[in-house]
Structure 1
Amino acid sequence: MPLLQIEDDGFRLDGDPFRILSGGLHYFRVHPDLWADRLHKARLMGLNTVETYVPWNLHQPRPDEFRMDGGLDLPRFLDLAAAEGLHVLLRPGPYICAEWEGGGLPSWLLADPSMRLRSRDPRFLAAVDDYFGRLLPPLHDRLAPRGGPVLAVQVENEYGAYGDDTAYLEHLADSLHRHGVDVPLFTCDQPADLERGALPGVLATANFGSRSAEHLATLRTARPSGPLLSTEFWIGWFDRWGGNHIVRGAEQASQELDELLATGASVNFYMFHGGTNFGFMNGANDKHTYRPTVTSYDYDAPLDEAGDPTEKFAAFREVIGKYAPVPAEVPPPRAAKFGLEAVELTESIALLDAAPALGDAVASLRPLTMEELGQDYGFVLYETELPDAGPALLELEQVRDRAQVFVGGQPVGVLERERHENSLTFAVPWPGTVLTVLVENQGRVNYGQGIHDRKGLLGSVLLNGSPLDGWTSRPMPLTAPEDLPFGTASAAPTGPAFYRGTFDADRPADTFLHLDGWTKGSVWVNGFALGRYWSRGPQRSLYVPGPVLRAGANEVVVLELHAPGRERKVAFRDAPDLGPVED
């Protein structure tokens, strides 16, 4: 692969003028069997480059464990990009934002209450250096100087929106170099944060989604010479639970793209193909109110969540064709989907009954956080005995993020961080009644100072004004709920429960799971974690990648936290429902 050069008058590739035409494509949000398809479609839209973040929290789930296999086989993804004739912009963090759980930072960093993330805290820097030392050596052969597709590597991510410690950024750049990165480095920031997040001697780039000429002028003022690049040209947006599905019209977005390309600048669409926050990996925002992001990361992108071209794909392709060659080949309009209208979930087991099989309880004076339990995602089940009968006022200092409260196994209320709720009244039938609190991690904050986002019950717990001590904390990461001892029953269990059903498929094909009438929970198909659903919306279906299905018998497991659909059925349909639209 040719080498990228940063000159006063722009980018050059082996000495020839070069414009980066790139699109965001996060390998960890796409089933690995579908990487080649998405990369091929990127080239067909006229792109010469793709961009991807690297999620530290998935690659290094524990300090002594590093993964780069299956859906995390980054070397394979880079090889597929190269085979498609695409260059790569690599964004390894350590922090990535990306509306991803914790901004990509591993939860185990938060086990130390005094740890300061994204800083020169020696403990944080030591962890980052170890991460780079594990991640980067296997990628050496994929860097451009050795014939690989990686043209440039980003230092941190939008750091100017968080801090202004240049020495911190210098440490990261030095660490990248020490671990073998010998391609150009770059930073990216929103225009107002450029000076705070820039690093001397490193290419500064800007993130924006409109008013391209104005924002590029701001970038040019900050950097009088050198290439102009919008590393995140926002052509859509993400959704949050309780909001609407956000779209941006193809005509408006393509006009903004035309304005940008007319300046001679380079671009990276954010996103070309958004993909999905599978499992529990969605992030959240907290600007005085906690707002978790939905499972779908469709992002109103040129390729939709299932990898089908949208109206925006055609519109962008036409604009790009004004400035660069575009392949004659076009992708098919829409791949055939699998459909099955009614799958009955005939087996079930109550979550409280299944608890011993989901994790071991740990005794302590106070409730332990997820991080203290060595847990990343999922739920924690807290229990204690109530000393007295009669009226009770329960006060939980911090609920992170949603607590379902049970007294003697019966539900008495829900407390939500999003609604700033932390107290509940109920009646205790007799002394020694068990108080149970099921707490869901709805996604760690991925932006701003709120990234120090520990999960579970934090701080004091009071009962009628007095400390309530003597707890067990049971981590429930829910890594294999399909292995639970399900049974058949005519009536649904009371409260949170797992439901299982089977169905036949004539072929593996993409589909969308609809849970009409169900309330809130998570879904697994053949052991693959699809993500969360919630009747609060806007999202009302879950994308099922075709490779997850099998020709013949298949299994679906639903964790419903409240009440299942009246008929305990789900449907596989050929189209998604992402909710009412907000332009």
Structure 2
Amino acid sequence: MPEFAIGETDFLLDGQPFRILSGALHYFRVHPDLWADRIDKARRMGLNTIETYVPWNAHAPEPGTFDLSGGLDLDRFLRLVAEAGMYAIVRPGPYICAEWDNGGLPAWLLRDPSVGVRRYEPKYLAAVREYLTRVYEVVAPHQIDRGGPVLLVQVENEYGAFGDDKRYLEALAEHTRASGITVPLTTVDQPTPEMLEAGSIDGVHRTASFGSGAEERLAILRAHQPTGPLMCSEFWNGWFDHWGAHHHTTSAADAAAGLDALLAAGASVNLYMFHGGTNFGLTNGANDKGVYQPLVTSYDYDAPLDEAGDPTPKYHAFRDVIARYHKVPDSVPPPARPAPTSEGPLRDPVRLLDAPAEWGTWEFHEELPVFDALTPMPRLALLRTTVTGDRPGVLAFGEVRDRATVFFDGERVGTLQRDHHERALALPRARGELLVLVEDQGRVDYGPRIGEAKGIIGGASLHGAPLTGWDVLPVDLDKVPSLRPTAATTVDGPVAGPVLLRADVDFAAPADLFLDTGEWGKGLAWFNGFPLGRYWRRGPQRTLYVPRPVVRAGANELVVLELDTMLDPAARFVPRPLLGHTEA
């Protein structure tokens, strides 16, 4: 069997120096029927390795579960990497960041406040060991010394930016070895002396993450990793977007120059990202460094391969750089072609407030619970109570995480948004039914707020007195796309949510599509039952990507849950992605 090892100055493959030319490709952000296509395009750019995170919360949405089906079939993904003649790097966390919901940590794990987060704490470690055991049952047979593609396995992820618990890191490394992982182990940290010191342990190879200044940053890494190969295991060749900001792009020429500097220095590299993919469904994370900033649905990342899997100028610039140092394949992928266009009216409204019991099951709580206290944990919930009093007043919440729309006797009063630090509004009347629709817009994926609860935090009050006696309805979003009105109904003019709408759209053949949401408000969309993700008029993202494998020749069904107001109730598919304005 082949042997992969860390030498004095190089990675060694069967005793010979080997440079890792890797690209990040997250299987969980790409439709599984497109994995082989994306892997092949990485090979044709000149890469020899595919790197992926493993998202704990996607594989284990509830305690005691571990899903390896469909788009979570890690075994199949690694087999496809091997069939393409490429190698693999696996980064199972347990924390991955990745701009992914909760940084990959399951929300259920942190319901118990005594459970530690990313530290040596018995309850947390017990759950982590159970998770890693399941991951390594898949990964171990795919190691290179067993005839598979896996060269490296990473321990934790940029831990020096979070903590310095060496005992925790050592426990992860020990369990990784005990689970049958024999290939070299790595850590990654941003190349500052403080982070490299805090996030690494002896016996595990240190690597760095950065997007520029290769010479200086590699020198810092070398000071902390005196022997062995230098590796930038996250070369940031693009960036992510959040709602309400601009679409981030980076110069292809500048990124290619940065890659050239890395290769000229003899370093190995992993491009973050080679192909970003999409935060399908409700999987986007968020940042909060004083202002809450949820991430958009697209994870295009301005990567060499765009969200739809087409090569960009950065793809060709990177390929030209790699060709100066290593042989690259002769053929390149074809350029992008315009996507098919179509449109159809949205119709058959089903309004949440007309019959909430069709959307979920009411349950009574004397005190207003956080989302994390509910099972299953919702992403959207309707709260109901009756207000009695002798005068209008101010409704206040302890904290809104992350968006609350308030209705009084069925009329919309206003919306409170976490990113605006809003938590109170005036009620127009003294008596009536109070309804609050609360949305989790994505859990923080980086920093000290990882693992925080969602929903209404700290309860509600009116006139400064606590409001108690709440009916709570967690919206069953798996059930929602199948809801239909009692009779077919057309829609004329703008529509106010929360409302479910659907449209039929025809296409001649399966193809990648781009759904234009520019005249819609805020909500979710499904295409033939596949969850495309969130849209929001706030931008910058305007189109939702529809992957080719979910599109049928002939009739297709689009379902939209509009939570705000829709100016033009029509489904329109456009030729190109519209990801928003850039700083330039």
**Cα gap change, 1:251 to 1:468, in 2 (>3 Å):** same
Is the CA contact (8 Å cut-off) linking 1:350 and 1:493 kept in structure 2? no
- Report the Cα offset of residue 72 of structure 1: 0.3
Name the aligned partner's letter for residue 380 of structure 2.
F
Match of 2:42 in 1: 42
Name the aligned partner's letter for residue 273 of structure 1.
H
Deviations 1:48-76 (A, max 9, x none): 00100000001011111110010000000
Match of 1:313 in 2: 315
Match of 2:196 in 1: 194
| SS of aligned partner of 1:182 | coil
- Report the Cα offset of residue 3 of structure 1: 2.5
Taking the TM superposition and a 5 Å limit, the aligned residue runs for 1:336-415 are: 337-340=339-342, 342-376=343-377, 378-415=379-416
Match of 2:296 in 1: 294
| SS of aligned partner of 1:315 | helix
- Report the Cα offset of residue 309 of structure 1: 0.2
Match of 1:460 in 2: 459
- Report the Cα offset of residue 252 of structure 1: 0.7
Name the aligned partner's letter for residue 34 of structure 1.
L
**Cα gap change, 1:72 to 1:506, in 2 (>3 Å):** same
Alignment of 1:255 onto 2:249: no
Gaps spanning 5+ residues in structure 2: where? none
| SS of aligned partner of 2:428 | strand
RMSD between aligned residues? 1.3
**Cα gap change, 1:490 to 1:248, in 2 (>3 Å):** closer
Match of 1:32 in 2: 32
Is the CA contact (8 Å cut-off) linking 1:336 and 1:509 kept in structure 2? no
Is the CA contact (8 Å cut-off) linking 1:515 and 1:569 kept in structure 2? no
Q: Report the count of equivalent residues.
A: 579
Deviations 1:479-518 (A, max 9, x none): 1322112341545664311111112221110010002311
Deviations 1:259-315 (A, max 9, x none): 111000000000000000001100000001110010000000000000000000000
Match of 2:559 in 1: 557
Taking the TM superposition and a 5 Å limit, the aligned residue runs for 1:21-170 are: 21-170=21-170
Q: Distance in 2 between matches of 1:153 and 1:82?
A: 16
Provide the TM-score with structure 1 as the length reference: 0.97
Match of 1:240 in 2: 242
| SS of aligned partner of 2:311 | coil
Is the CA contact (8 Å cut-off) linking 1:516 and 1:565 kept in structure 2? no
**Cα gap change, 1:377 to 1:188, in 2 (>3 Å):** farther
- Report the Cα offset of residue 421 of structure 1: 0.6
Q: Distance in 2 between matches of 1:443 and 1:372?
A: 17
Segment drifting more, 407-416 vs 453-462: 453-462
Match of 2:522 in 1: 520
Is the CA contact (8 Å cut-off) linking 2:394 and 2:427 kept in structure 1? yes
Deviations 1:25-56 (A, max 9, x none): 00000000000000000000000001000000
Deviations 1:157-177 (A, max 9, x none): 000000000000011111111
Is the CA contact (8 Å cut-off) linking 1:376 and 1:477 kept in structure 2? no
Alignment of 1:283 onto 2:296: no
**Cα gap change, 1:361 to 1:4, in 2 (>3 Å):** same
Q: Distance in 1 between matches of 2:50 and 2:378?
A: 29
Deviations 1:393-449 (A, max 9, x none): 11100111010011111110111111111111121253xx11111111100000011
- Report the Cα offset of residue 325 of structure 1: 0.8
| SS of aligned partner of 2:577 | coil
Provide the TM-score with structure 2 as the length reference: 0.97
Taking the TM superposition and a 5 Å limit, the aligned residue runs for 1:498-517 are: 498-517=500-519
Segment drifting more, 421-430 vs 281-290: 421-430
| SS of aligned partner of 2:353 | helix
Q: Distance in 1 between matches of 2:179 and 2:377?
A: 28
Gaps spanning 5+ residues in structure 1: where? none
**Cα gap change, 1:556 to 1:148, in 2 (>3 Å):** same
Name the aligned partner's letter for residue 467 of structure 1.
P
Q: Distance in 1 between matches of 2:127 and 2:317?
A: 44
Is the CA contact (8 Å cut-off) linking 2:74 and 2:138 kept in structure 1? no
| SS of aligned partner of 2:219 | helix
